[in-house]
Amino acid sequence: MNSKMLWLAGMFFSVGAFAEEGAHAAGSLWSSPLAIGLGMAFAVIGAATAQGKIAVAFMEGVSRNPSAQKSMFVPLILSLVFVETLVLFTFLIVKGIAG
């Protein structure tokens, strides 16, 4: 149910972005503080959820096989870095839209 609603919201809200003549059109929904705040909030919520799942998977793997901790540590850090990078990219895009 949630994925269908997210898909529909993405379809309806993206129409306004593609219909604009410029990035800073007057009265633009995407340059409003509300849209910027929501974009960052969704990025942070998604990243926090992903980082939590990564940490849980690491802890479960280490608790089942403690000797594999050293070989699992580097992929853990890399996956956390990649997730955090997505939030930083979102911040840069939002900062570019806000001007």
Q: Which two tokens stand for residue 68?
A: 């594999």
Residues 42 and 23 in one domain: no
Residues 51 and 10 in one domain: no
Residues 17 and 64 in one domain: no
Confidence of residue 43 (pLDDT cuts 50, 70, 90): confident
Count how many domains the chain has: 2
More confident residue, 59 or 12: 59
Tell me how far apart the 2 most distant CA atoms of the chain are, in Å: 60
Q: Which two tokens stand for residue 63?
A: 């608790």
Which residues span the domain enclosing 73?
32-98
Start-to-end CA span in the chain (Å): 36
Residues 37 and 24 in one domain: no
Helices 69-98 + 33-64 axis angle, to 10? 180
Confidence of residue 8 (pLDDT cuts 50, 70, 90): low
Q: Is the pLDDT of residue 4 over 70?
A: no
Q: Among 57, 92, 89, which residue's Cα sits nearest to residue 75?
A: 57
Residues 37 and 74 in one domain: yes
What phi and psi, each to the nearest 5 degrees, are found at residue 26?
-65, 130
pLDDT in tens, 13-37: 655 555 555 555 555 555 677 777 8
* Chain mean pLDDT for the chain: 78
Q: Among 69, 76, 73, 75, which residue's Cα sits nearest to residue 55?
A: 76
More confident residue, 11 or 70: 70
Residues 3 and 45 in one domain: no
Residues 65 and 90 in one domain: yes
